[in-house]
Structure 1
């Protein structure tokens, strides 16, 4: 027999199949033909025979290392607890009387780390109570209780392992007897049932990943959510089954099911896919001549490499307001830029949602100060839109596919059409949204609203010289707390945000003007009588700039500004100005502000 100072946390006692509590971490180690196993010291010192046991006084009981019956024999069980026989059984061969050794020697007192003030007393009669560990009713189990403090837990909960594993998480989970402060501060729900966890509940959690699960959910649902539905399990298995990463798994699903991958910065590719696959339209990659609905002028092809655009300004499509990444078109007379796909949008779209009985008609705004709020993503826009029954949808939301694959989830997401009376929490921002404008994986209870589905994958910000990548939980590579560099508030550990690995900087999505105003095109210019110079619409004002009308700070806010005399006026004040004697134009020759 060899002694070890510490028993590995993953081992169970060979005799009682219960874990080693902290105060029992020292015990003997035995070896049989080179194989090690562990025993509690009390289990190693069990007597070989019991001459007269109170439950069987006529014959002696002999300790056996294994059950004397066949493993598939369900007729024989412990005569005290009526449960199946396991290792180390006291047996009477004459009467076929059997007792678990734990039932033969009952520990009436237990010093448990959940209640260090007093020992817990074993209550051997089944009682009706609410367990302080798992919050389940205990009416058929033995339990431990502290009468003075009214602490009452199941016997099975009392001997839970302090460290455990789940199939849907890569790291070991630690058992704690109350919700940790970092989870309590943000109100992080159970990762399985998504319900709030009482602060005094026992939970299993992983600190670096901010993963937490109810004790009840851990015991009841050993398998992850995505394998409960058999059809879903067979079609979309765990990425590890493919022998690769989550990226390789998503690539295979996307290729097999012909889905568009999100997040993306290439909106034209998404539009092209939807118009071709879901609306049956023929889209020309590079048409010889097209006309833009807004100006009806002839349009010429444009090579981005030959465009001398203004410094610090990206070229955006005046139809969908998204960045132009490849060759596109331009109207030389109006100085409009656009994707070729956006120039071929149909004038009407079929009924997209059940709440609308009319077709959606394509339209656009006339004045540079006009804007609308998209009914789906709730973001302001000044680009083209589809309207039906006074409901406005920007081009991006109107042309989202019915099914898509997202980097934040293992399975394809379905557009939740016709569930307008149902509300769910977005797993990205935590806000409640109507299921009409969302995507969901119902097997995993994973939902996203339109605003988060359309977040760009990569953005730039003046405070970081590197591209910022959209990040999803769990953030195991950044176990500490992280704060938004703009608003300086702590970022919720379960919320999506933009992050730069090189500089270790994080940002709330809506704190970045390029994300908040991603449905806006900038550069439009208008003139009015109160100011002698033209004003140019910019994404944000300077760090110390203020509106010359309402005197509100213009930093990170849309602003009309003058490049000649540094005059600026906020978007809200500009919309209040009378349009009398207002000249609208688009001019790329006026230089932007340098911040």
Structure 2
């Protein structure tokens, strides 16, 4: 019937290989039984845009079986991928057969063949975890008519239930889109929540029908305005294709490009389908006109000028670089095709792409994460607020591992304690669970699951709950020496245990998030760009340099010390070892203060 190799399966019912999925929530229904997949172990088609899914249990149903006692007799059964005609009815439950169907080997009468649903022939217990309830839910494979605890309405069909709590949720309410747009009713997108509290609403009336929203059921909520709408009101206005976005699971190891965050901006656009890319690149970098397209490996560490992320060469993506000597202008092929105008959740006006800021060294502070950046960004016409490329693509709703029991929605930042870092305000927006008063910064939500640091040979894991994530033996040893695994190996300062940090389990070493170069305060700045100073200050060009891993130096202009081993910028001349403060350089540079891409 099938052949398996590792986590790949070739099933008789489908032409393409199927891939095993264990720890991923799938918003679709099983092609065998019609029951929602959700978090149950399943198989999905390995081909893009092919919506074929099977529960693992359904994939293991026997293709030939017998004898089986059905309808007072014993029959041999043959599994069909679909019923032979539209009027096939199950001999056990009487309803129409739609998906996998067993055909009985003998006829009841001369012209009638018996058919039976796969779940009627072999009852299965399909158990799932769903965001709507704290306990596991079991599929009720027979149709029922009940009040749904998700939307609050009476529904007829397949339900998932928790017998402990008498909780019932309609299958369609388990598959609702995480985010929808309610045109003509509200300017912002609204996100789905199954848990409501008084703190959610300025007033508890639906934006569409104006009736009261019950706190006992779910709703779609605007995290910025604290307004909501009934589930059925929001979804009844949807047309096919109007679903905006599903929740994204974080953190992930963002070690390939384009990252999942960037994919959120451009959807699933194929990097190979790029038109007029040469003219676009020349618009971004008009100093030089010739370009090289790379598909091969390169030993040099390269950073994209648009997103300030490394150009990863495994697997080898194509990227564009300037062939002129000592010019390090590089673009991912993906970034060369960034949309010129986007609509952003934070700001009501359309945002336009820019490749260089008008500020000193082309740097700007991102309105969302409050980090300095000298890459590409977006801003509206005439506005002073800018958003870097990564934050412009921030998903509106996420399921973060640090608070996996509830979804986190993009909301206004409250002036209260956050659970990720000790910065009270890091931009105007946060990801929030209002039910639990749990808040994390947008930038902290993007932190990768694993990073590297030169002080440790192993990958470092992101720790947001030491009591769960750090092995018991190491915690017991730490009780005797309390500061040991909460001391940063880089700066040798204590790490607040309730805040996130990076940790190596093999070496028992910890690091502040801010002390990791790829996640620190200046992780969105591309260094190595050069600047020409007036001759009375210095004769040679100076290079933008990061002080995080460099000791203190003396400024050659003001004779004060430039502090080392902290994350800030300075300029350095490698020809004569001349150092100068960033502020001193800014005061003495030309009016435009343009940093070039020359090394």
> How high is the TM-score relative to the length of structure 2?
0.49
> How high is the TM-score relative to the length of structure 1?
0.50
